[in-house]
């Protein structure tokens, strides 16, 4: 686990609208492509964040530090075998977190 990677992900979620939108669609892949080496547990811990709350917070920040509609180019890379295992674990962890949120809200 890396506190720096978590803080970087939070910073991107707050200041980068495109990253934020992509994160909530494919969290593990987006973080990996952005160079954020998060564990599956860290990704799952970020999922309960509300995208609208992050967006409202971003709107209150100085525009000089917020990327409204831009994103740093994603690094294309072929995943090594360890990444494939990591992604499978991350996907399972994310699915559990999403299912837990749905149960909590009474949607399942």
Half-sphere exposure of 96 (CA within 13 A, CB side): 11
User: Which helix (H) or strand (E) covers residue 2, if one does?
Assistant: none
13-60 pLDDT, tens digit each: 998 989 999 999 999 999 999 999 999 999 999 999 998 899 888 888
Alpha-carbon gap, residue 8 to 30, rounded angstroms: 13
Q: Strands (DSSP E) along the chain, which ranges?
A: none
Question: Do 36 and 24 contact (CB within 8 A), yes or no?
Answer: no
Number of structural domains (the chain) is: 1
User: Taking Cα atoms as reference points, which of 68, 97, 77 lies closest to residue 37?
Assistant: 77
Residue-range definition of the domain harbouring residue 18: 3-104
72-106 pLDDT, tens digit each: 444 444 455 555 556 666 777 777 777 777 777 77
Residue 3 has pLDDT above 70, yes or no: yes
């Amino acid at each position: 686990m890396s506190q720096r990677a978590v803080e970087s992900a939070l910073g991107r979620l707050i200041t980068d609208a495109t990253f934020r939108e992509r994160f909530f669609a494919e969290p593990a892949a987006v973080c990996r492509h952005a160079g954020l080496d998060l564990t599956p547990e860290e990704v799952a811990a970020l999922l309960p964040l509300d995208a609208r709350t992050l967006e409202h917070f971003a709107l209150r920040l100085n525009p000089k530090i917020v990327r409204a509609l831009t994103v740093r180019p994603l690094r294309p890379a072929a995943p090594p075998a360890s990444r494939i295992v990591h992604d499978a674990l991350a996907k399972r962890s994310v699915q559990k977190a999403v299912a837990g949120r749905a149960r909590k809200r009474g949607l399942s």
